[in-house]
Amino acid sequence: MKKLAVVALGGNALLRNNQIGTIQEQEANTRETLKNLIFLIKENYDLVITHGNGPQVGNILMQNDAGEILYNIPQMPMDVCVADSQGSIAYMIEKELRNLLKEENIEKDIISLITQIVVDKNDIAFKNPQKRIGRIYPKKEAEKLEREKSWIFKKSPKVKDGWRRVVPSPKPIEIFNIKTIEKIARSGAIIIASGGGGIPVHLSDNKFFKSSEAVIDKDASSSLLASKINANEFYILTDVPYVFLDFNKKNQKKLEFLNEKDAKKYLKEGKFGEGNMSPKIVASLDFIKNGGEKSVITEATKLEDKTFGTKITMEYENF
C-alpha cells in the first residue's frame, strides 16, 4: 500500500509577516511553498494538505470592522470568517498546485473540502479565551467594543496601548466526512481539508450542531485528521528547519531526532517555550501515540532534504 502523508502548511507560509497581503503576494508564496511538496508526489505518496489561516482570517475580521463602520454591513461571526478563509486559501493552493503538476506532467485530481470540526461546548477554553485574533485596538475603543459586542480583550505584548480580541481555542474531537477524506486520498486524489484548524461546531442540548465562536489550533486538528485517516507520516511546515531546545538563547540546541519520552520531558520543563513550537510538539506526539509512524517538523524549503527537520517517533530505534 502507498504511504499516506498529511502536510500542514502554516498561515505564514502563504502570507509573510512583512507583507501587506495582496493576492499577488499570497499566490507567489503559495506556489513557492507547494514546490516543496512535489517530491512527495513523485515518491508516490498519497497526500492530504491542511493549512493555517492566522494572517488571512485576521484580515477578514478587519474587513468586517471596516464594512460595519463605513457602510453598516453586519459583521459575520467567527465560524463564517473561518469558512471564508478556508475557501479562499484552498482555492489558491489548488490553483497553484495544479499549475505545478502540469509543469511536471503529473495528472492528479485536487479536491478542496470545506471542513467542519466538532468541539465540546463545555471545553474549558470557552471559560478562558486566550487566542488573539484580528486587529490591535486602543484601550478606549476596545472597552467600547466590549460593551457593545461582549467581546473579550487582552493587552497586546507588542503595542503599548494595544488590545486584541481573544476567543476560545477548544480541542478538536471529531472531523466530519473523515471516511470520505481517507477514501478519496487513498484513491490518488490530493485533498485540501481542515483549513484554519477547521470550522468549529458543537452539539447543542437538542442534539443539533451549532456554530462555535472560536478558533481551533491548526496543528491539533491536522494531527487528529492524520490519525483518523490512518496516515503514515505527518509533516508540519514552519519557519525554522529544526525544533530547538531553549530557542534564541545562548545555549539553544537543535534536535534532529526526538522520541516520545524525551519530548514529554522537554515539554514539562518548558524547553520549547510557550509560543508556536509547543503546540506542534503536542500535535506530533498525539499523532505517533495514535499509530502514526513519524512526524516531521521543518521549514518548507527543507522538506525534500531529509538531513533537515526534527523527526519524532515513539522510540529512537525506529529512525
Tell me, yes or no, if 218 is annotated catalytic.
Answer: yes
Instruction: Please give the Cα distance from 215 to 248 (Å, whole number).
Output: 28
Tell me, yes or no, if 294 is annotated catalytic.
Answer: no
Query: Which entry of 10, 12, 52, 271 is annotated as an active-site residue?
Result: 12
Instruction: Please give the Cα distance from 124 to 129 (Å, whole number).
Output: 9
CA distances from 173 to 123, 176, 218 (A): 11, 10, 13
Query: Which entry of 271, 280, 294, 311 is annotated as an active-site residue?
Result: 280
- CB–CB of 194/175 below 8 Å? yes
Query: Which entry of 36, 52, 131, 197 is annotated as an active-site residue?
Result: 131
Output the nine-digit C-alpha cell for 2. 502507498
Tell me, yes or no, if 11 is annotated catalytic.
Answer: yes
Tell me, yes or no, if 131 is annotated catalytic.
Answer: yes
Query: Which entry of 218, 271, 294, 311 is annotated as an active-site residue?
Result: 218
- CB–CB of 46/188 below 8 Å? yes
Tell me, yes or no, if 155 is annotated catalytic.
Answer: no
Cα pseudo-dihedral 174, 177, 181, 182, rounded to 10:
70
Across the beta sheet with 162-167, the strand order is 131-138, 162-167, 152-155
The β-bridge partners of 209 are: 203
Residue 274 burial (CB count, 10 A): 8
Query: Which entry of 10, 11, 54, 196 is annotated as an active-site residue?
Result: 11
Instruction: Please give the Cα distance from 173 to 157 (Å, whole number).
Output: 31
Output the nine-digit C-alpha cell for 122. 463545555
313 three-class SS = strand
Instruction: Please give the Cα distance from 10 to 106 (Å, whole number).
Output: 25
DSSP 52-113: --HHHHHHHHHHHHHHHHHH-PPPPPHHHHHHHHHHHHHHHHHHHHHHHHHHTT----EEE-
Catalytic residue numbers read: 11-12, 131, 218, 280
